[in-house]
Amino acid sequence: MPNPDRDALIARLPKAELHLHIEGSLEPEMLFALAARNGVEIPFASAEEVRAAYSFSNLQDFLDIYYQGMSVLLHEQDFYDLTWAYLERAKADNVRHVEIFFDPQGHTERGVAFETVLDGIERALKDGEARLGITYRLIMCFLRHLSEEEAFATLEQARPHLDRIHGVGLDSSEVGHPPSKFERVFAKARELGLHVTAHAGEEGPPEYVHEALDLLKVERLDHGNRALEDDALVERLVREGTTFTVCPLSNLRLCVIDRIEDSPVKRMLELGLKATVNADDPSYFGGYINDNYRAVAEGLDLSAEQIVELAENSFTGSFLPPDEQAAHLAAIREVAHG
Ligand SMILES: Nc1ncnc2[nH]cnc12
Ligand SMILES: [Zn+2]
């Protein structure tokens, strides 16, 4: 049942978003506007028709449409507009800090320069910090369906800009592309001082989570749902305090779970795991961060304390320095107890 007090708490809590693919925030209306602006043909007649096509039975179904959607992003201003629209929407949900993913290979393979992508996204993030008060980190993902060699080439393209990129991630088609495929690239990224995270256990087995931890040495697990199938792994993840960036509406729309009641968020909290709630690809999965919080709060009947814990975890699991994390935790306490 909707619960106005719980929804008000969710709205008022300061939050960080740690799992957000900026290309996944491309709303159908902007897809149409950019297609017209750039003279790109898209196989849809209206934004409604686009939305109707967003019916997926697994991750790959979604990825096929997600990469197609990127074709309208060509110029620096396109990447700026995309990122700025997300930040304004995040502001409305009381998001104070974002750590966003981008997929450079989805653009460079279409002939868009790495710098065009980075410049546009970063300019919006800087404006977001100045005008909306939202701090940020930027995480460059490697597409795991592509080769190790291509990932290394992408890291080379990023080399002149490492003062502007804070971490690397690993996304795209999981099954058949285990973390071990990218062990050497991640070692190089760590050597260059970058943070490391990876999608693991979204569709892939617990073994992929082990590999992400042991071979890639990730600081966070993106999704991580299937870690719960392995009791010894859970014990380790509790002990190590690893943050999970869970995406409930994404899980539902990609059939990782059958019903929102099956979201692992509550079980993770009860097991002592550090779960956070995030939107993943909000324009494709029908909701931004507060929609995701509300969906699990209602579906799992989360207590106010658990909702507050999710918000706290979003900051303590972030790449922010301890003093900035502490300031956000104090702001959360004000809302929770004030
Ligand atoms: N949920 C997801 N899993 C893997 N790759 C992605 N790229 C964008 N969203 C993704
Ligand atoms: Zn994701």
CB burial class (10 A; 0-12, 13-18, 19+) of residue 37?
A: middle
Q: Which two tokens stand for residue 151?
A: 């990932």
What per-residue string of b and e applies to 119-139 under the rule 16 or more CB within 10 Å gives b? bbbbbbbeebeeebebbbbbb
Dihedrals φ, ψ of 317, to 5°?
-90, 0
User: What is the chain's Cα-based Rg?
Assistant: 19
For residue 18, the CA-to-ligand 2 centroid distance in Å is: 10
* Ligand 1 in reach of 202 Cβ (< 6 A): yes
Atom of ligand 1 nearest to the CA of 281: 9
- Residues annotated as part of the active site: 202
Helix or strand (DSSP H, E) at 63: helix 59-69
Strand partners, 136: 98
Q: In the chain, which stretches have pLDDT less than 70?
A: none
Residue 199 labelled as part of a binding site: yes
Residue 223 labelled as part of a binding site: no
Residue 292 near residue 248 (C-beta atoms within 8 A): yes
pLDDT of residue 3: 85
Count of alpha carbons within 13 Å of 271, Cβ hemisphere only? 25
Residue 242 near residue 217 (C-beta atoms within 8 A): no
pLDDT of residue 241: 98
Q: What's this model's pTM, rounded to 2 decimal places?
A: 0.98
Angle among Cα 156, 158, 164 to the nearest 5 degrees reads 155
Atom of ligand 1 nearest to the CA of 66: 8
For residue 198, the CA-to-ligand 2 centroid distance in Å is: 9
User: Domains in the chain and their CATH numbers?
Assistant: 4-337 (3.20.20.140)
Q: What is the DSSP code (8-state) at residue 128? A: I
CB burial class (10 A; 0-12, 13-18, 19+) of residue 12?
A: middle
> How many CB atoms are closer than 10 A to CB 225?
25
Strand pairing of 274-277 and 243-246? parallel
Dihedrals φ, ψ of 279, to 5°?
-100, -20
Atom of ligand 1 nearest to the CA of 21: 8
Residue 19 labelled as part of a binding site: yes
Q: What is the DSSP code (8-state) at residue 43? A: S
Q: In what order do the strands lie in the sheet with 274-277?
A: 15-21, 95-102, 135-143, 167-171, 195-200, 220-223, 243-246, 274-277
The three state secondary structure string of 76-103 is: HHHHHHHHHHHHHHHHHCCEEEEEEEEC
* Ligand 1 in reach of 23 Cβ (< 6 A): no
pLDDT of residue 247: 99
For residue 170, the CA-to-ligand 2 centroid distance in Å is: 9
CA distance 51 to 285: 10
* Ligand 1 in reach of 226 Cβ (< 6 A): no
* Ligand 1 in reach of 251 Cβ (< 6 A): no
For residue 96, the CA-to-ligand 1 centroid distance in Å is: 23
In order of 2, 15, 204, 267, the CA distances from 302 in angstroms are 12, 17, 27, 11
